[in-house]
Amino acid sequence: MSERELNRIEVLSDVVQGRMSAVAAASVLGLSRRQVHRLLKTFQADGPAAIRHKARGRPSNNRIDPAVREFALTL
């Protein structure tokens, strides 16, 4: 996991345990209160694995078609 994701997990854990409010977590993470509540809902349902980026390990949507790439390299 990235440093950012680990920080989010730590802050959300503090909110779940009552050591931090959702508003304070929002300011620490640079998010809105509403987004913190969305993260909390998925964090409580699926655990820390729910915080990781969902596109990890997948190819980019903006990748260049391999045929076009090969043509450009031959030029």
Within-domain flag for 30? yes
Residue 3 has pLDDT above 80, yes or no: yes
Would you place residue 55 in the very low, low, confident or very high pLDDT band (cuts 50, 70, 90)? Answer: confident
Within-domain flag for 38? yes
Within-domain flag for 35? yes
Contacts 24+ apart (CB under 8 A), 40-47: 40/12, 40/15, 40/16, 43/9, 43/12, 43/16, 44/16
**Which residues are CB-neighbours of 1 under 8 A, at least 6 positions away?**
9, 48, 51, 52
Mean pLDDT score of the chain, rounded to an integer? 91
Give the tokens for residue 22: 């959702």
Within-domain flag for 12? yes
Task: Give mean pLDDT, residues 66-70.
Answer: 92
Within-domain flag for 74? no
Within-domain flag for 47? yes
Residue 1 has pLDDT above 80, yes or no: no
Within-domain flag for 68? no
Q: Dihedral, CA atoms, 33, 36, 41, 42, nearest 10 degrees?
A: 150
Where in the sequence is the domain holding 51, given as residue range(s)? Answer: 3-55
Within-domain flag for 64? no
pLDDT for the residue numbered 51: 86
